[in-house]
Structure 1
Amino acid sequence: MLIDFSKIEEVCVPNFKGGEKELLKKAYADGRNCIMLDRLMPGASIGRHTHETNSEIMYIVSGTATFTVGDTVETVQAGQCHYCPKGGTHMLQNRGEEPLVFFAVVTEQ
C-alpha cells in the first residue's frame, strides 16, 4: 500500500501532549497504526507522555531532536532513530535553529 504524504493535508496541532508551540502533522491511521510525517519549528516541543498501549518509532529526517526519557537526555540527528517501547515515557524538543522533520510510526499492541 502506498502512502503519499504529498497528498495528505498538513494539520496544525497546538501544544501537542502539553508541549510548546505547534506540531505540524501529516498522518495516515487505520485504527491500529498511525504513520506520520511531522514537523516541529525551533522552540516547539511535544510534551511528556507515556505509551501505555503502543510503541513509537521516530526517524529524524532533518534537524536535531532532543528527547527526554526519564532523567536521560538524548540528542538524535538526521539519519538516526528514537524508539519508545510500550510502557515508555518520553518528550521531544526542537532546540535547534531549523525545523525538525521526523517520520513516526505508532503501533497498537
Structure 2
Amino acid sequence: MEIQRIENMCGGNGHVFLKPILNEKQLNGKCGLYAEVTLEPGCSLGYHEHHGESETYYILSGKGIYSDNGELRMVEAGDMTFTPDGKGHALTNAGEENLVFMALIILN
C-alpha cells in the first residue's frame, strides 16, 4: 500500500497522509474509499460536502475538532462520525500528536 501525501486536501491546512486499505478493483464500485488517514499537528482536512455517497470516520488515535455541517465537536480515539449524502464535514488535528482515523466512503 502506497501512502499518498496530499497538500491542502479539500482546502485544509498543511497536508494529509492517505494510506488506501483497498484498491479500486477491491472496492468493486460499492465504495469510493477505504483508507487510514493521518493528520499531523496543525493540519486539517477542509470542509467538503458529499453527494451520492456518505462518509464515516473512526478515530484511532489523537484528538481533533470535527465540523459536522458547521457544528463543532471534539473527537478522540474510539469516536465515530457519519456524514450522510448531501451533508458536509471537516476535521482539524487539535492535539500535539498525530490524529489517525479510518475513512470509509460508501456510494449510494
Query: Normalized against structure 1, the TM-score is what?
Result: 0.88
Range 13-22 or range 23-32, more displaced: 23-32
Hey, what does 1:22 align to over in structure 2?
15
Distance (whole Å) between structure 2 residues aligned to residue 39 and residue 78 of structure 1? 13
* Structure 1 residue 12: Cα displacement: 0.3
Letter in 2 for 1:102: F
Q: How does 1:78-89 map to 2 (within 5 A)?
A: 78-89=77-88
1:54-89 CA distances to partner (integer Å, 9 max, x unpaired)?
101100000012111233111111011011111111
- Residue 40 of structure 1 pairs with residue 39 of structure 2: yes
Distance (whole Å) between structure 1 residues aligned to residue 56 and residue 66 of structure 2? 12
Taking only aligned residues, the RMSD between alpha carbons, in angstroms, comes to 1.1
Give the conservation status (yes or no) of the 8 Å contact 2:70–2:89: no
Letter in 2 for 1:82: T
Distance (whole Å) between structure 1 residues aligned to residue 61 and residue 68 of structure 2? 21
Query: Normalized against structure 2, the TM-score is what?
Result: 0.89
Aligned residues: 102
Q: Which runs of 5 or more residues in structure 1 are unaligned?
A: 1-7
* Structure 1 residue 9: Cα displacement: 1.2
Q: How does 1:57-96 map to 2 (within 5 A)?
A: 57-96=56-95
Hey, what does 2:2 align to over in structure 1?
9
Distance (whole Å) between structure 2 residues aligned to residue 71 and residue 104 of structure 1? 19
Letter in 1 for 2:67: T
* Structure 1 residue 17: Cα displacement: 0.6
Moved over 2 A (4+): 28-32
Distance (whole Å) between structure 2 residues aligned to residue 55 and residue 71 of structure 1? 17
